[in-house]
Amino acid sequence: MSDQKSALPLLIIKGKKISLPIIQGGMGVGVSLHPLARAVAREGGVGIVSSACLDRLVSKRNGKKVNTYEAAYEEISLARSAGGFAGINIMLALGSTYEKSVKGALDAGADMIISGAGLPLSLPAIQAPGDTALVPIVSSARALDLICRKWERLRYRPDAVVLEGPLAGGHLGFKLDEITLESNKLENLLPPVKDVARKYGDFPVIVAGGIFTHGDILRFLKMGADGVQMGTRFLATEESSATPEYKQAVLNAKEEDIIVATKPASPCGLPFRVIKQCLSFVRERKPKCDKGYVLLKDSEGKYSICAAKESNETYFCICNGLLSSAGYNSDVEKPLYTVGTNACRVDKIVSVKTLMDELAGRVAVPAL
């Protein structure tokens, strides 16, 4: 059992008193849906759903077509249905569905919107957030300062910030040659980001990327973090909506199997951490992009450009691969398995309650 020294403190964000300072990462596509987020919320953390491709996933589940707004509204409502706190992760890189996801989440009463994969400079301007906390994701103090200065003009300040280091899964906010720099270790990024947060009102700083144990959480709290965000540990839970094959791939992964993909790379242009075996299929089929979530604007301002449409030598199709990892069209498309750098340490699939008891220090666990 935990003692006073190892007990975790409350996390307070926009007046919300969260029992445990643990935010479950919004893993897309389709890993973080309402069953996972609801379970985490029920256990005292913050459950987060991912907005990525949510309209297709909810449409398939319901057997009828829903749009982006309706999907975000439904998933947030279900995630909050058992009590506790739940929100949504909305990637700026999903530009064509971004604003509709924000509006659906706000109207459903999401406790927070976490937004990264780019700098969400205009997030507060989309719709009055009400009681919903707006939480940008950054990888540097400079990025946070830029967001704060922009949001000041919109008469808003971040309600918290997620500082994501280079050990996270999926898209990373660093150039390839920056990932291993000593200066970019999470513990070295934290102090200057904390300074910026104090400068603009002393809002909470949540650290993410490579955090795995109760001891890790305590270490970063002692360094000045107010809470943590964790993805991979929650990927490997019974309530996670990842396919059984995805979860087994995590269990099977060794340290050398976890790589940052560069050739081929994500069409977003950001480094992308993944299990290397799932990249072998990319050059086996012709380039295609028929889902259209990760699109850039063309000269007319329309979302129509995707590098994966043109080349399978340099880029992989992220939409189809990640949808397959959630069981969508997996019979025709092979999956992409994104993980954090510590996925090789996962040795069993557990319930969210078991995991939260471990992370909160409520139960003794063997050293990992």
pLDDT per position as a tens digit, 273-330? 889 887 766 656 666 667 767 777 777 777 777 777 776 677 777 777 788 888 877 6
The per-residue pLDDT of the chain, averaged, comes to 89
Element of type H or E holding 183: none
pLDDT of residue 322: 82
Residue bearing tokens 């940052």? 260
Using the 8-state DSSP alphabet, how is residue 351 labeled? Answer: -
Give tens-digit pLDDT for 67-90: 999 999 999 999 999 999 999 999
Stated pTM of the model: 0.92
Report the side by side order of strands in the sheet with 258-261. 170-171, 272-275, 258-261
Q: In a 3-state reduction of DSSP, which class is residue 32?
A: coil
Give tens-digit pLDDT for 238-286: 999 999 999 999 999 999 999 888 777 777 777 888 898 877 666 566 6
Amino acid at 56: R
For residue 135, is pLDDT > 60?
Answer: yes
Q: In a 3-state reduction of DSSP, which class is residue 343?
A: helix
Residues β-bridged to residue 88: 49, 113
Give tens-digit pLDDT for 11-69: 999 999 999 999 999 998 889 999 999 999 999 999 999 998 899 899 999 999 999 99
For residue 4, is pLDDT > 60?
Answer: no
Of 16-20, 94-98, 330-334, give the range with the top mean pLDDT.
16-20
Cα Rg for the chain, rounded, in angstroms? 19
Cα(282)–Cα(333) distance, integer angstroms: 10
Does domain 11-242+347-359 match CATH 3.20.20.70?
A: yes
pLDDT of residue 212: 96
pLDDT of residue 3: 54
Contact (Cβ atoms closer than 8 angstroms) between residue 338 and residue 170: yes
Residue 76, phi then psi, degrees to nearest 5: -65, -45
Domain residue spans in the chain? 11-242+347-359, 244-325
Q: What is the mean pLDDT of residues 153-181?
A: 90
Cα(87)–Cα(324) distance, integer angstroms: 24
- List helix spans (H) across 127-273: 141-153, 186-199, 214-222, 232-235, 244-252
Cα(159)–Cα(281) distance, integer angstroms: 42
Element of type H or E holding 88: strand 85-91
User: Alpha carbon 334 to chain centroid distance?
Assistant: 22
Give tens-digit pLDDT for 206-247: 999 999 999 999 999 999 999 999 999 999 999 999 999 999
pLDDT of residue 224: 96
